[in-house]
Amino acid sequence: MKSPAKSCVVYIVGSGPGNKDLLTIMGYKVLKKAEVLIYDYLIPNEIIDIAPSDCIKIPHQKGETAEQRQKKFEEAVLNYCKTKKVIVRLQIGDPFLFGRGDEEIKFLRKNKIKFRVIPGVTSAIGVPTYVGLPVTSRGISSSVTIINGHPLKEGEINWEALKNVGGTIVIMMGISNSEKISSELIKNGFDPETPVCVISNGTTKYQRVLLTDLINMPSEIKKNKISPPGIIIVGKVVKEFMT
């Protein structure tokens, strides 16, 4: 196997929470010169279309495992780095917050391939901000904890610690697991009437916002047909700024 071309650079780019206008200027410039584009299935076409029309596009498919996506990335990079100068790996949100950016740069370093990481607006902060919901506020919440709500393996999250930390909790990818999230938080000391804001498809034209509380969150999500992708914000800031 030929070594990667010395001039080849892999750009790991965060696309932001979904709205094309929230893609960073740096991310936009890199996309405009992409020769190969490997991208997440959640990224809207408006952002994908920024890449040149003759760019080789390699999408990750819904239903693929993390291992399958990583293998696809590695094979594409090793193949196209022999002949192409600009390979872009486009991730939803920010590459280093529940993305695969960490594993991808380990692979690139191991194979001595040049890379650059371009941050993106994470939906954990960008989406609540977009609807006017600050995750911290003087006198109300001085901290924010961001957790991955999917999948929820036993022991993966210290629910008791979340209660002790206080502040605002932002749960990424948790809509489909809302029943377990609600149950665990209440079981570990959270008031069942703790205010909750659920936002699906945030910053896009499909955005939906649901205001509820912990005990009613699962039934309200089902009743209102709120579907992923989305985030859940738990804490006093919801009552202060959204009601």
pLDDT along the chain (243 residues), means of 10: 70 97 98 97 95 96 88 95 95 94 96 97 98 97 94 81 94 96 96 98 97 98 97 98 87
Read off the pTM: 0.92
Burial degree of 8 (CB within 10 A; 0-12, 13-18, 19+): buried
Domain residue ranges in the chain: 9-121, 124-242
Partners of 39 in the β-ladder: 59, 90
Q: What is d(CA 37, CA 59) in angstroms, rounded to the nearest whole number?
A: 8
CB-CB contact of 209 with 229 (8 Å) = no
Domain 124-242 is in which class?
alpha beta
Domain 9-121 is in which class?
alpha beta
Instruction: Please report the pLDDT score of residue 1 as a whole number.
Output: 44
15 φ, ψ to 5°?
-90, -10
Q: What is d(CA 216, CA 77) in angstroms, rounded to the nearest whole number?
A: 46
**What's the 3-state SS for the chain?**
CCCCCCCCEEEEEECECCCHHHCCHHHHHHHHCCCEEEECCCCCHHHHCCCCCCCEEEECCCCCCHHHHHHHHHHHHHHHCCCCCEEEEEECECCCCCCCHHHHHHHHHHCCCEEEEECCCCHHHHHHHHCCCCCCECCCECCEEEEECCCCCCCCCCHHHHHHHCCEEEEECCHHHHHHHHHHHHHCCCCCCCEEEEEECCCCCCCEEEEEECCCHHHHHHHCCCCCCEEEEECHHHHHHHC
